[in-house]
Amino acid sequence: LTNRQGPTGIRCHGSGARPRNLGAMPATISVELATTAPKGASIGTGVVIGKNGPEIPSGVSLTAANLAARGFEAKPGQILAIPAKSGTHILVGLGPIGALNIDTFRTAAAALARAAFSETHLAVSLVETAPTRLDRKAVAQAVTEAVLLATYTYTAHRSVVPPRALIGVTLVVRSERAMTAAVEKGKLIAEAVILNRDLVNEPPASMTPRILTSYAERAAADNGLAITIFDETDLDRERLGGLKAVSLGSAEPPRMVKMVYMPAGAARNVPTIALVGKGVTFDSGGLSLKPSDGMLTMKCDMAGAGLVISIMSIIARLAPAVRVIGYCCITENMPSGTATKLGDVMVARNGKTVENHNTDAEGRLILMDGLSLAAEDKPDAIVDIATLTGAAIVALGTEITAVMGNNRSFTSQVMAAARSVGEETWELPLFPRYRKHIDSSIADMKNIGNAGQAGSIIGGIFLQEFVDGRPWVHLDVAGPAFVNADDGMITRGGTGVMVRTLIELIETFERPKK
């Protein structure tokens, strides 16, 4: 390990590793703008449902009866491919005309991109289909994101890369100049989501704490961010008792990373939001060992830290008028003769003591140090992101993020940001009477509650102990961060869930009301 100076003079420890290119399919498809479809391109057209059924768009020779005979009802995302003289004409359902919204066009664009996977080039006319009550620039951004994310494929460890004919998508619009900024922003946001997917999909042997940290270093260097990296020799001095305890069973050293983005020319009182991400690069459960099936996907347990790194990797180009502080709590959780034992007591950064009743409830133990550090920065609000509890999957499945918060104004902001980008959330209560579930007979608290009772809520109640009363939201992404099947914009494996939500939150952030 070597000492060096960060971009603004903050002392850092090097990660001891170097980032490399990850697993998105080479030659990612291009998204361009044009006022007419390129010659030879296949055509993607949206079909709405009007008063008398599907409305036939211009250029389509089929009648309503023809569509009905082919089973096409124009339901959202429904596809009908029609051979044409040049390429293919692909119809996509948009649903009832009165119900069209931005998410309608995300769904349609993703469906078109998947349907055109074997085409060389696709011209999409969705943007101008949007009714005037919708912001067509927002539609263009959403369509761009959807096309890029729906065609993502992770191929880093395949000896033979699956073929893909599609190399480019053209958005057909009336004015290229009017839509350029929106499309470029869509590309930028998709880039962040794809990085998060790549980080999560990479096998744990090649995404160790030091390697994950190297991506944070690259994000900081590329964006001119201040960065501080605490290595294993700093844990006692910095009082990172939770991170140290979880890391003891692993031969891989832990890292705590802090990155800071400051808007150019910002005043001292600039609004500030802190992001804290759980980064367990592999979770065996520690001495509370998981069964093999439950361990198989535990490379995804660093999705929260990966999200923070992904957002910080584009933050300077995004240029929000908000100070953003990102913390990544990074370690492995492994069993060994040096591992933390059940009944051990650890001391968090803020001085509170925790008795360990289950070493597989490790995420909250590393987050308690990250949240304590974040609270010391006195931000206007804090968000933590973690694949925290299997109970969240039981309660909400794999498409909904569990949300808990201590400030109504800020919780509403986060959930509104999620709605605006089409990501699903559901709020769970931090029921005060459940605080007794984590009472310990020998310490300030223990790290789990009563078996089979409100597991996700108990995780949130535990984390609340470390935010020093500052406005805070906890996002439990255990369900939607890693999935087993493609669906619309989502691809199998790491999903990049909540990247788009938190970018929207940062860009629209307002100091929470008390």
Looking at the annotation, which residues are catalytic? 290, 364
Given a contact cutoff of 8 angstroms between Cβ atoms, the answer to whether 328 and 213 are in contact is yes
48 touches 75 (CB < 8 A): no
**Around Cβ 342, how many Cβ atoms within 10 Å?**
12
Q: What are the strands, taking DSSP E only, across 351-442?
A: 353-355, 381-386, 401-405, 425-427
Q: How far is it, in rounded angstroms, from Cα 492 to Cα 484? A: 5
Cβ-Cβ contacts under 8 Å for 182 (sequence gap 6 or more): 137, 138, 140, 141, 144
CA dist., res. 201 & res. 183, Å (int): 26
Dig out the tokens for 370 from the structure. Answer: 């990250």
Amino acid identity, position 245: A
Torsion sign across C-alpha atoms 252, 310, 237, 386: negative
**In sequence order, what are the beta bridge partners of 131?**
none
Please list the residues that pair with 278 across neighbouring strands.
Answer: 329
Both tokens of 255, joined, read: 């890292």
- Alpha-carbon distance 220 to 446, whole Å? 36
Q: Which two tokens stand for residue 441?
A: 């007979």
Helices 176-201 and 136-150: crossing angle in degrees, nearest 10, is: 30
The rounded distance, in Å, linking the Cα atoms of 7 and 144 is 33
Query: Read out DSSP for 46-63?
Result: EEEEETTEEPPPTT----
Q: How far apart are CA 228 and CA 257, in angstroms?
A: 6
- DSSP assignment, residue 434? G
